[in-house]
Amino acid sequence: MQEMNAYVLLAITLLLGLVYAILRNQYSKNVATRPSDHYSFISLSSLVTAIVLILISGGVCHPSLFTIALGVGFGLLTVIASVSNLLALSIGPMSYTTVIATSSMIIPAMSGQVFWGEPVSVRQYVGIFLILVSLILSVDKEANEKGSSLRWLALCLVCFVATGMVGIAQKIHQSSAYRHELSEFLVIAFAVSTVLSLGVYRIYERRGQASGFISSIRKPGALLLAVATGVCFAVVNQINLYLAGAMESSVFFPIVNGGGLLLATISAIVIFGERLNRKRTYGLVIGLVGVALLL
């Protein structure tokens, strides 16, 4: 991977990230029928991701305590970000949900200035302000009367924070003396994600709010979508973790997130036929401009 041009790797991760987003949106809107289904989906998907990462790396060695601890935290944040994103997609538009999730680049970009001395320009501060305006415009009054708009926004904000913290964890690990333990770090993270998601699913089962893990993943399309997203996520995270340490935060995060946002927005309109009201359309455009200013 080190021998490949960084921008070639960026192109690959953007394409696979788009496929990943489309598959998750398909599962959330057309396959999952209850909240517990999202945990079975994440558990299986994370297991596939861990297996693929082991195959890609040719095996794992004994990691340091630093990698283990950060990997556990990364796994926990991944579960939180994934579940909140899937639930948000199930009740809200893919385009706007992606805008808010992508705006999480604010968190690692600002951390680059605070902890690594990487500059943040006036233009980027304007972008942050526009993203905040976009968040305000995202609340739909008509949908909120049914309780769905604020619930969707709350889920998006949880995803926003968790995804941003994931970015910081990436930067911390790949800027440390243990960056050579990249594969071990990711395998630990997704093994933790698998166990945590399965544990939460079992809680739903004991409460009578789930029909059984096997029944959940045997729903039409569930198994295929979980495996496909697991493979995509493995490759994307392997590339992104390498690039997070090889490139400046203010360059890598805006490009990988901004490019993914543009592709996801186009696919939401073209493939899923999403239509937003005027207020949300303005908010979406303002959010896109804000993300562009962060580049």
Give me the chain's average pLDDT, please: 84
pLDDT band at 47 (very low <50, low <70, confident <90, very high): very high
- Residue 265: its H or E element: helix 249-270
pLDDT at residue 145, as a whole number: 45
pLDDT at 72 > cutoff 80 = yes
> Does the pLDDT at position 177 exceed 50?
yes
- Whether the pLDDT of residue 137 is over 90: the answer is no
The pLDDT score that the predictor gives to residue 280 is 77
**CA-to-CA dists, residue 276 to 121, 179, 291, angstroms:** 32, 43, 19
Give this prediction's pTM. Answer: 0.81
Residue type, 253: F
List the one residue out of 124, 39, 138, 137 whose CA is nearest residue 79: 39
Say how many C-beta atoms besides its own lie within 10 A of residue 212's C-beta: 12
Q: Say if residue 114's pLDDT is above 80.
A: no
